[in-house]
Amino acid sequence: MPKALLLENIHPLAGEALRRAGFDVEQLSGALSEAELIEALQGVSILGIRSKTSVTPAVIDACPDLLAVGCFCIGTNQVDLAYAAQRGVAVFNAPYSNTRSVVELVIGNIISLMRRLPAHTLRMRAGIWDKSASGSHEVRGKTLGIIGYGNIGSQLSVLAEALGMRVVFYDLEEKLALGNAIRCNSLNELLEQSDAVTIHVDGRAENTGFFGEEQFAHMKQDAIFLNLSRGFVVDLQALRRHLDAKHLAGAAVDVFPVEPKKSGDPFTTPLAEEPNIILTPHIGGSTLEAQKNIALFVSQRLEDYMWRASTMLSVNVPQITLGSCSAPARIAHLHSNLPGVLASLNHVLGERNINIAAQSLATEGEIGYVVTDVSEIPDEETIAALGAIDGTIQLRVM
């Protein structure tokens, strides 16, 4: 039985699904350091992680049995995707499964901050009864500025508009505006008119420090700020200065530059003493519904790759969608995208009178992937010849 290792409290449904699919599954509650991960992955074919475990080139090099990584979350920046592809490790994620959960938390945070619920709660806990409408507002009629109009940003746009908010957005890529949302031509254009600004950018390295002093300075007086995207995107010290200066009326932060590896570990933030603030421990997508959906979605991708060679929705290797194999054998060949690889593969099979029942090829950038269903199970000599084709990264026979 191939081994699967699931970390970071991935929902038990994932383990159950992989066991039914024929895997020997081990599940651990926390994240692992690089050295711990290398030790734990010896003999393991499938790794499941969330956002705290990093799969580095050193990990990939030290774990030759690793075939695939399942990121049971939206982001994949914790994995070196290009290096993984070059070493034959396919990576899968769940780009849509927790979108609704994040959006609902954003909406709840906006309403809470506009009504100053955190500040009121703080004073009530201190024994102060302060029944006042000062600084409290309805969200209806306010302008929401969405930075990043992908899966989360666009769905947030629809729900915010249903609440009566005016929606503007900014994205580097051309995106279709939903409903009455208005695209801004620059980030500053969005900041200067938004009563609430929320960030939903991806984890690419270029977004490090994306939002800092200059961007906060362009925001409206008494606006609120939310970050439920990536912790390294925002300068928290700059945010604190603008909150202390009463320039901003409140903030909600769910992600942080440095986060503990597991629940219960100590945590500090410069925002802890701010009155009208919502601090949450990276739970934007952490609802039971979302975690169940993610568990089933990603485990299915891993099962399909392991037993059917299907790379549907992989984020780092060419995508081929395949069902069960009705031929005696299926050959999966991941290779550098060089001229003549397909011809060489077919030549090897032809020389041995092995008939091709079906064949699919896809290329993306520097990587190519061809899956061939054949009329007989290839012998060791044939497998060796296929593996010796120039540019071969990985060869699997099912």
Q: Which CATH number characterizes residue 355's domain?
A: 3.30.70.260
pTM: 0.84
pLDDT band at 390 (very low <50, low <70, confident <90, very high): very high
Both 219 and 247 in one domain: the answer is: yes
Q: Quote the domain boundaries for residue 198.
A: 99-279
pLDDT for res 245: 98
Catalytic machinery residues: 230, 259, 282
Both 294 and 396 in one domain: the answer is: no
Contacts of 349 (CB under 8 A, 6+ apart): 356, 372, 374, 378, 382
Give yes or no for residue 204 having a pLDDT over 90.
no
Give me the CATH number covering residue 124: 3.40.50.720
pLDDT for res 203: 84
pLDDT, tens digit, 9 for 90 and up, residues 133-155: 999 999 999 999 999 999 999 99
Q: How many domains does the chain have?
A: 3
Average pLDDT in the 351-362 region? 97
Both 18 and 118 in one domain: the answer is: no
Both 197 and 138 in one domain: the answer is: yes
Average pLDDT in the 99-110 region? 97
